[in-house]
Amino acid sequence: MSENRKSSSPLRVNPHAVLKIAKSERTRAAILNSALDFIWTHSFRDMTVKSLMASTGAGRSAFYQYFRDLHHLMESILVMLKEEIFNAAEPWVAGTGDPVALIDEAIRGLVEIAYERGPIYRAFTDAAATDGHSETAWNTFLNGFDNAATARIEADQEQGLIRSFDARPVAIALNRLDTYTLIEAFGQHPRRKPEPVRVALSHIWVSTLYGSEWLGSKSSSLVRK
């Protein structure tokens, strides 16, 4: 059965709740929401300033008061999502306790966000492929995850939980696997079912870092259907 495509992105930009909201803030939010709705159902490559501004009630020239170009707009959306995504990874990155359960919790959160935001993720990669500024912003974003994962792997190595190896290349490989698996699964409609994706990623992370013996003995949630 095919998925019914939503008419608009579930992510919205809301101006700050103050008694008198500046017109500039409302206009910027309207442009961002127009972009989110567009990339929820269309490719970034098909986006134009004209198509975005048509639904905002503002003229085309207003776009350039807030954004350098469409790539700059996408960089602004990435900033919006960065905290949400890092918060989802927080249980394993900085948590204490059973590391397998923490990985599963983190991946569950990342999969949930990717399911809700997948077409937006794909738009980031499309933008990065055609613009140097966007490519730098995307790589900086990914590098933040690489740093966090490297630090956690090294900390667990010091405790004897993970065998000795160069942590950073492994962290990069696992993070890129996550990124492109999530984009492939949820970056376009119809999206895949999230649970099989979560289980697959959890298996890969746990078996790579802690050993396959942890899969069955330490966290039954990894094999829960």
DSSP 22: -
User: Which position has the token pair 């993070």?
Assistant: 175
CATH architecture of residue range(s) 70-223: Orthogonal Bundle (1.10)
Q: Structure tokens of 68?
A: 């350098």
Spatial separation of the C-alpha atoms in residues 210 and 100, rounded to whole Å: 8
67 burial type by CB count under 10 A (0-12 exposed, 13-18 middle, 19+ buried): buried
Q: Domain residue spans in the chain?
A: 70-223
> Model pTM greater than 0.95?
no
Using alpha carbons, list the distances in angstroms from residue 54 to 27, 45, 65. Answer: 12, 17, 16
Please classify residue 154 by burial: count the beta carbons closer than 10 Å to its beta carbon, then call 0-12 exposed, 13-18 middle and 19+ buried: middle
Q: List the helix and strand counts (H, then E) for the chain.
A: 9, 0
Rounded distance between C-alpha atoms, residue 73 and residue 146, angstroms: 25
Distance between CA 122 and CA 109 in Å, rounded?
18
Q: How far is CA 144 from CA 16, 71, 137, 180, in A?
A: 28, 20, 11, 16
Taking 3-state DSSP, the helix, strand and coil percentages for the chain, each rounded to the nearest 5, stand at 70, 0, 30
SS3 167: helix
Render each residue's pLDDT in the chain as its tens digit; 225 residues.
445 455 567 776 765 444 344 567 889 999 999 999 999 989 999 999 999 999 898 899 999 999 999 999 999 999 988 989 999 999 999 999 999 999 999 999 999 999 999 999 999 999 999 999 999 999 999 999 999 999 999 999 999 999 999 999 999 999 999 999 999 999 988 999 999 999 999 999 999 999 876 665 544 444 443
Residue type, 150: T
